[in-house]
Amino acid sequence: MKAKAEIRLKFLSQKHLKTVIDSLLPEVSKPVAGRAKIAMGRDGNFLILKVEADDTVALRSTLNAYLRWVNSMANVVEVLEHSS
């Protein structure tokens, strides 16, 4: 692996973080492409994404995909929380 990144994203609550982690588990456990590996963890209210890729193109595309998914899920959780 030639390119690496670690992203730490802070969530407002453990509930929000757990929802996002549970939603990402299928993607993390069975990635579609073989050019990048992703590991996911948590530290307090932080989601930690570690990506290792064959090159910077694979790193960028993997990070973009996961960050878009996290953003979408966080937006949905926020909307649902405010609507109840």
Residue range 56-65, pLDDT digits in tens? 999 999 999 9
Domain boundaries, the chain: 3-83
Query: For 3-83, which CATH class?
Result: alpha beta
Sign, CA dihedral 69-30-34-2, equals positive
- Distance (Å) of CA 55 to CA 14, 24, 34, 39, 70: 33, 23, 12, 17, 23
Phi, psi of 38 (to 5 degrees): -130, 140
Burial 1-32 (b: 16+ CB within 10 A, else e): eebebeeebebeeeebbebbbeebeeeeeeee
pLDDT score at 33: 67
* Residue range 22-81, pLDDT digits in tens: 999 998 887 766 889 999 999 999 999 999 999 999 999 999 999 999 999 988 988 888
The pTM assigned to this predicted structure is 0.86
